């Protein structure tokens, strides 16, 4: 491309700055960023103000729940402080995204514990980087009848499962892990060998 002339693609430094910042977001390239910026320029001023304020409020005021370490607007999150949730059933997850995923299923009414990741020596994440000590503390202080480990079905997840299981040897309730098997709706021929193998190994009798 020739660049003989002074080029003024944006003709506005303010627009260029906004595009720069939007393009830093994951999955947003400069073309999409420009489309978003021009969209905001075409809308009422209040649209941009509401968007900017909601982002500032979110980033400025969201904290981690003191009990479960899920994101929260208050000291204790809306799940921990909800009297209708079952406080005897604890679900241990790696990430707050996993809390959202489980809540969406609508099939869990207990409380959570967010570890903040899984043990991953290659990426330098050791048990001390996770909230495993806090989990052990909760397993002693609170009165759980069951702790469900709902960690990713990866080697790191399995390692973390095993580590936590060992750390919970004092715990008198049940420790369970979520079932791994073929996805509902999947055909057997498309499932990978390991998943299908575990699915057969962990088969469930009909009369249960």
Nearer to a second copy, 59 or 169 (CB): 59
Helix axes 30-42, 45-61, angle to 10 degrees: 120
In whole angstroms, what is the distance from residue 60 CA to residue 19 CA?
23
Which residue stretch of 66-74, 149-157, 159-167, 194-202 sits at the interface with a second copy (rule: CB under 8 A)?
A: 66-74
Distance of CA 33 to the CA centre of its chain: 25
The CB-side HSE value for 68 (13 A sphere, CA atoms) comes to 26
The answer to whether residue 61 forms part of the interface with a second copy (CB under 8 A) is yes
Q: Out of 53, 154, 174, 176, which residue is the one contacting a second copy (CB under 8 A)?
A: 53
**Rule CB under 8 A: which of 16-45 touch a second copy?**
17-18, 20-22, 24-28, 32, 34-41, 45
Give, as ranges, the residues between 98 and 137 that touch a second copy (CB under 8 A).
99-100, 103-109
Q: State the Cα–Cα distance between residues 193 and 40, nearest whole angstrom.
A: 49
CA distance 147 to 91: 6
Determine if 75 is a binding residue for a second copy (CB under 8 A).
Answer: no
10 makes contact with a second copy (CB under 8 A) = yes
Site size for a second copy, by CB under 8 A? 73
């Amino acid at each position: 491309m020739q660049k003989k002339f002074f080029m003024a693609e944006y003709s506005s430094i303010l627009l260029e700055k906004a595009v720069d910042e939007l393009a830093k977001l994951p999955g947003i390239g400069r073309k999409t960023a420009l489309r978003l910026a021009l969209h905001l320029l075409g809308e009422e001023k209040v649209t941009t103000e509401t968007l900017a304020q909601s982002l500032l409020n979110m980033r400025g005021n969201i904290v981690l729940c003191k009990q479960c370490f899920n994101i929260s607007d208050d000291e204790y999150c809306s799940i921990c402080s909800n009297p209708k949730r079952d406080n005897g059933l604890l679900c241990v997850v790696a990430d707050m995204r996993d809390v959202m995923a489980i809540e969406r299923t609508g099939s869990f009414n207990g409380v959570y514990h967010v570890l903040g990741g899984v043990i991953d020596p290659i990426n330098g994440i050791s048990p001390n980087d996770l909230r495993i000590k806090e989990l052990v503390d909760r397993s002693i202080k609170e009165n759980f009848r069951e702790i469900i480990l709902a960690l990713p079905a990866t080697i790191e997840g399995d390692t973390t499962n095993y580590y936590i299981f060992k750390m919970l040897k004092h715990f008198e309730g049940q420790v369970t892990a979520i079932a791994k098997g073929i996805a509902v709706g999947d055909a057997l021929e498309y499932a990978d060998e390991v998943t299908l193998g575990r699915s057969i190994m962990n088969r469930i009798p009909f009369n249960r």
